[in-house]
A and B are shown apart, each in its own frame.
Chain A
Amino acid sequence: MSGSDINDSEGRRLSTTVWTALDRKAGAVIELTIKQLRNKTSTWTVFGVSTLLLLLLSAFYVDSVRDGFESIDNDGDSVDYDGDGYPLGQERKYGSSDFNPDEYPGSGLFIPEGEIYYNGPRSHTGNHSWDADGPSLFSGSWDNILDYYPEGDEPCPEIIDELLENTPYGWSPYSCVMANGDRYLQFLRFDGNGTLTVAQGWYAIFGVVTERFQVLPDPPEAYIDEDGIDWDPNNPSSSQGFDDDGDCTRSEYPEQVAADNDDSNRNRIPCDVLWTRGADGSVIQIQPDMLVDEDPVDSELMGESSHRSFIIITGKIAFAMIIGIFLPLFLALGLIRDESENGTLHYLLSKPIHRGEFIVYRLSGYLIFAGGFVLLMSLLMALVTVFLGPEGNRLADFNVWFGIGAVTVLSLAAYGSIFNAMGLMSPKYGVYLALIYGVYEFAMAVMTLFGAELVPVISVSHWSLQMIDAVVLVAWPDTIMLSQMSTAFNIDSGLSFFWRPPLHTFGTGSPAFAIGLSITVLLAFISLPILVGQSIFKRREID
C-alpha cells in the first residue's frame, strides 16, 4: 500500500513536484464540484432556460436589424388632430390651432388689439372682431354670429351678472336676442360695431381678422424627419443646429409672435442647439432650443443607438439581473447544504481539509462552471451583434460583451457566496431566505435602472449595473453623446433610459474609477458571506 515511491511521468518524486498539496486539494474539490453540477438535472434546466432567453433576444435583434429602422415622427407634428386636412406642423407655421377645424392655414387669423380684463372696466365700444369668454351683452350691429337659441319658446335670459352655472347652457357657446334688441352671448367670436359689456370675473378680446388666402395642405409625410441634426463635430463652436423646418424661427408666420421658446437653452442665441463638450473634447450634454433639430432622420441615428441599447439591455437585464441571480439560486444554494443532507459530506470532511477552505474550493468549482457558461454565452452574443450590427468599429462590442460577462461572473460569485451562506445558516429555510433575497436584489436592480442612486447601494445588482454602465463608456466613449442625442432629439432607442453615465465616480467622472469601485464593492459582497459561512460551518456538527 505504500505509494511514496511512485514517480510521475517525468520521473520526479510525486511528493516534490511543483504543485503544493493545497493546490491538489483545491483541484480535487473543484473538479468534484464541477462533476456534481454537471450531473444535476437542475443545472441543465437553468442553462437551457438561460440559453432560450438569449436566443429569443437575439431573434428580436436579428428581426429589427433585418427590418431596418423606419422613420418616425419624433416631434409628433405630422398628425391632424382637428381633421381640417392640415397637419400640426403646417398649422404651427401659420399660427392656426390644430384643435379647431375652423382654423387652418389661410383661414384668416384673429389678431388681438385689446382686452376687457378680468378686473378692469366691464365694457368697450368700437368696430371690432370680438371674442367673448363668458356671459356678455352686446348692443349695436353685428355680423358673422351664429345664433344658439334657447329651446322651445323660452325667452332669452337677461342674466349677466350672475354666475355661469345659472345660465341655461353652462359652458356652451350660446347667444340670443333679447326683447330690447340687445344680444346676450357667451363663448363666441363675432364681428360687430357697438358696445360689449362682460360679466364680472370674465373677459373678452377684441381685434381684427386677417384676410383669407388659400394654402394647400402639406402631406403628413412632409412633417416626418423634416428637421435633422445639424452638427459638425469639427466645428469648435458650442452653438450649432439649424431650424430646417422653420417652426422655431417662424420665418413663414404671418406675424412674429413673442417667441418665449426661442432660447430655451438660455445661451442667448435663439433657435440653436448648445453642444457642451467635456475636458477630453467628447460631447457630454446637448441642449436644443425648443423645435430645433427636433425631427432627425431616424435611420441615421437609430441604428447605432438601438444596437447599443440592445447590448446594454441584454447585459443588464438578461445577464446581470436574470442569469446572474437565477444560476446561483439553482447551483450555489446547495453547494454544501445538499452534501450534508445527502449524507455524503463526511467523505470529504474526514480528509485533512479545513472546513473554511472547503467552502472556498466548493464556490470556486461552482464559479468556474457557471462562469464558464456565462462567458461562453456572452461570446456567442458578441458574435451575433458584431456580425449583424450596423457599420462602424464593431470590435469595441467584444470589449463590452467581455465586460458584461465579467460583471455577471462577479455577480455569480457574490450571489453564490450569499446563497451558500444562507443554505448553511438554515438548511431548512435557506431556500426561502435566498428567494426573498433574490427578489430584493431584483427590486434594487429595477430601482437602479430607474436612476436611484442611494437606496440600492446595499445590493449586488446595483454595483453590477453600475459596472456595466462604466464598461460601456470605456468601450464606447461617445455613448454619452448618443444618449444625449436620444433625449435631446427625441430618438426613441431606449439608450437614455437603459444607460446612464456611472453614478459613483466621486466627482472624477472617470468610468475606470467606477469600474474599480464596483469591483471593490462586489469583492466585499463576495468575501463577507464567505467569512460568515465559514464561521457557521466551522462550528456546525455534522450528524
Chain B
Amino acid sequence: MNSTPAIALDHVSKWYGQVIGVNDVSLAIDGGVTGILGMNGAGKSTLFKLLMGRLRPSNGSVKLFGTDPWETTSPYRRVGYVSESEKMYDWMTSLDFVSTLARLHGMTRYEAEKRAEQALSFVDLEGVLNKEIGKYSKGMRQRVKIAAALVHDPDLLILDEPLHGCDPLARTSIMNVIREMGSKGKTVLVSSHILEEIERITEQIVILHSGKLVALGNLHAIRAMLDKHPHRILIRCADSRALASTFIDQQPVYGVRFIDSESLEIMTKDLSEAHQLLPTLILKSGIQIYSIENPDDNLESLLAYLVGDA
C-alpha cells in the first residue's frame, strides 16, 4: 500500500451560492470499509462529487492517492465509483455497459469483456448479462453499477447510497461484495442515511451533518457513548401494567410510561445494561412479549446526541 492515503481532505468546503454543501471537512482514509453517515442533505454526495472531480472545492484541498482529482483524471485508474444517480443506458446489456466502461481504462475489447463477465458474476448477475438493463429490477441495476465500478479492480471504491431502494436479497448481495472488498484490503467508502445498514457492513464511520464532520471513528465506541444517554425501549406485551412493576425498581431504569394496556415505554440511561437485564426480568414475569423496539437507536437520535439538539 502506498504511503499517501487513498483519500485526504484538508479543510474542504463547498458552497453552492449561499448554500453550504460541505463545510471545512478534514479527513484521511486509507484501507478498510468506511461508512459515511448522514441525513439527506448532510453533504455525503457533495463530498463524493468532490472526490470524483465533478465539483471543484470552494476552499481546501482534495487528494485522491495524493493527486487533485479536479486537475487530473489519473487517480481514476485506481478508483471505482457508484453514484446515487439511477439513470443508466437502459438500451444496453449489462455486459455491454460494463465492458464499455472497462475499455475506458484502456483495456482491449476482449480483455474488457472477460473482466466485465468476472465483475458481473462477482455481483451475482452472471445469468442475465446479455439482458437489457432497462429490464432489470432496482437491485440488479445497482449491482450492474457496482460491477462497472469494480471491473478494473480498483484500490478505492466509492459507493453513494448503494443500498437505496434495493430489496433484501440485493442488499445482502451488495453488503457481501462491500465486505469482501474490505477484507481484500481495498479502501471502500460507502454512504447511507440508515445506521443499521452501515452497522451491518462496517464499524469505521464518518458522520456528516449539515456539511460538517461531526464524528469519526468506531461505530461501537460512538454508540457506547450514546448508550449513557436517555434511551427508550418500547415493549409490546400481553399485560403492560404487570410488566411495568417488574422494571420500576431496577437500577438502569429511571422511568416507565404506559401507552396502552399492551404497550409500555421504559426510559433508561444505560441501554446496554438495560438490554442485558431485559431477558431475565421478562422470563421471571412470565408475561407474553410481542415485540421489543429501540426507537432511539437510529441515526436521528445519534445525531441529536452528537450535535446536541434533541
| A residues lining the B interface (CB < 8 Å) | 1-3, 6, 8-9, 14, 17, 19-22, 24-25, 27-29, 31-32, 35-36, 39, 342-344, 346-355, 539, 541-543
Chain A hits for B75, CB < 8 A: 352
- When the two chains form their complex, are residues B114 and A24 in contact, meaning their CB atoms are under 8 A apart? no
Pairwise interchain contact A543-B52, C-beta atoms closer than 8 A: no
Does B110 contact A343, Cβ atoms closer than 8 Å? no
Specify which of A25, A36, A39, A541 is in contact with B104 (CB 8 Å cutoff): A25
- Residue in contact with B74 in the complex, picked from A1, A19, A27, A352, CB distance below 8 Å: A352
Option from A24, A29, A31, A39 in Cβ contact (under 8 Å) with B108: A24
Instruction: Please tell me if B56 contacts chain A, counting CB pairs below 8 Å.
Output: yes
CA distance A32 to B122 in the complex (A): 24
A residues near B52, Cβ cutoff 8 Å: 346, 349-350
- Chain B residue nearest to A341 (CB atoms) is B87
Q: Which residues of B contact A (CB under 8 A)?
A: 49, 52-56, 73-77, 79, 81, 83, 85, 87-89, 91-92, 100-101, 103-112, 114-115, 118-119, 122, 148, 150, 153
| B87 touching A350, Cβ below 8 Å | no
B56: chain A residues within 8 A (beta carbon): 539, 541
Docked Cα-Cα span, A39 to B134, in Å, equals: 13
With contact pairs A32-B100, A351-B105 given, residues A1 and B118 touching in the complex (Cβ less than 8 Å): yes
Given the known interface contacts A32-B100, A541-B55, the answer about A21 and B89 at a Cβ–Cβ threshold of 8 Å is no
For this complex, 28 residue pairs linking A to B, each with C-beta atoms less than 8 Å apart, are A1-B153, A2-B153, A3-B153, A14-B110, A21-B105, A24-B107, A25-B105, A27-B103, A27-B109, A29-B104, A35-B92, A343-B87, A344-B85, A346-B83, A348-B104, A349-B52, A349-B53, A350-B83, A351-B76, A351-B105, A352-B73, A352-B74, A352-B106, A353-B73, A353-B104, A542-B49, A542-B55, A543-B54
With A39-B91, A343-B85, A346-B81 given, is the CB distance from A3 to B104 under 8 Å?
Answer: no
B108 partner residues in chain A, CB cutoff 8 A: 8, 14, 17, 19, 24
Q: In chain A, what residue has the closest Cβ to B76?
A: A352
Q: Given A1-B153, A347-B148, A354-B73, does the pair A542, B54 have CB atoms closer than 8 Å? A: yes
The answer to whether A3 touches B103, judged by C-beta atoms less than 8 angstroms apart, is no
Asked whether B150 lies within 8 Å of A350 as measured between CB atoms, the reply is no
B88 to chain A, nearest CB (A): 7
Complex A-B, nearest 9 residue pairs according to Cβ-Cβ distance, in ascending order: A21-B106, A28-B103, A351-B104, A343-B87, A350-B81, A14-B111, A352-B76, A343-B85, A542-B54
Q: A3-B111, A14-B108, A25-B104 are in contact. Are A350 and B79 (CB under 8 A)?
A: yes
Tally A-B pairs: CB < 8 A. 107
B56 CB to nearest A CB, Å = 6
What are the residues of chain B within 8 A of A31 when measuring CB–CB? Answer: 100
Instruction: Tell me which residues across on chain B come within 8 A of A352, comparing CB atoms.
Output: 73-77, 104-106
With A and B bound together, what is the CA distance between A343 and B91 in angstroms?
15
Interface centre among A8, A28, A35, A351 (most CB of B within 10 A): A351
Query: Chain B nearest CB: distance from A44 CB in Å?
Result: 14
B76 touches A541 (CB 8 A): no
B49 to chain A, nearest CB (A): 7
A350 to B122, CA, bound (A): 21
Chain B residue nearest to A348 in the complex (CB): B104
Contact check, B153 vs A543: say whether CB atoms are below 8 A apart.
no
Q: Which residue of B lies closest to A22 (CB)?
A: B106
The answer to whether B89 and A36 have CB atoms under 8 Å apart is yes
When A349-B54, A352-B76, A353-B73 are in contact, do A8 and B89 touch as well, CB less than 8 Å? no
Q: Give the docked Cα–Cα distance between A249 and B73 (Å).
A: 83
Do A6 and B103 touch (CB < 8 A)?
Answer: no
B101 contact set on A, CB distance < 8 A: 28, 347-348, 351
Closest chain-A Cβ to B189's Cβ sits at a distance in Å of: 13
- A6 vs B110: C-alpha distance in the bound complex, in angstroms? 9
Chain B residues closer than 8 Å to A32, beta-carbon distance: 100
Q: Whole-angstrom distance between the alpha carbons of A354 and B108 in the complex?
A: 19
B85 pairs with A24, CB closer than 8 A: no
Closest to A18 in B: B108
**C-alpha spacing A118/B124, complex, angstroms:** 110
Chain B residues near A347 (CB-CB < 8 A): 83, 88, 101, 148
- In the bound complex, residues from chain A placing their C-beta under 8 Å from that of B104 are 25, 28-29, 348, 351-353
Q: List, in ascending order, chain A residues with CB within 8 A of B110's CB.
A: 6, 8-9, 14
- Residue in contact with B107 in the complex, picked from A14, A353, A541, CB distance below 8 Å: A14
Residue on A nearest B106 in the bound complex, by CB: A21
CA A22 to CA B108, docked complex, whole Å: 11
> Does A6 contact B54, Cβ atoms closer than 8 Å?
no
Chain B, residue nearest A39 (CB) = B91
Separation of A349 and B81 alpha carbons in the complex (Å): 10
Q: How far is B119's CA from A203's CA once the two chains are assembled, in angstroms?
A: 106
| 8 Å CB contact of B103 from A8, A20, A25, A35 | A25
In chain A, what residue has the closest Cβ to B83?
A346
| Apart from A14-B110, A21-B106, A24-B107, 12 more pairs, CB < 8 Å | A6-B111, A14-B111, A25-B103, A27-B109, A39-B91, A343-B85, A346-B81, A346-B85, A347-B88, A350-B79, A352-B73, A543-B54
Contact with B122, one of A1, A19, A39 (Cβ below 8 angstroms):
A1
Question: Which of the residues B76, B85, B118, B148 comes within 8 Å of A3, measured between beta carbons?
Answer: B118
- What is the distance, in angstroms, from B275's C-beta to the closest C-beta of chain A? 40
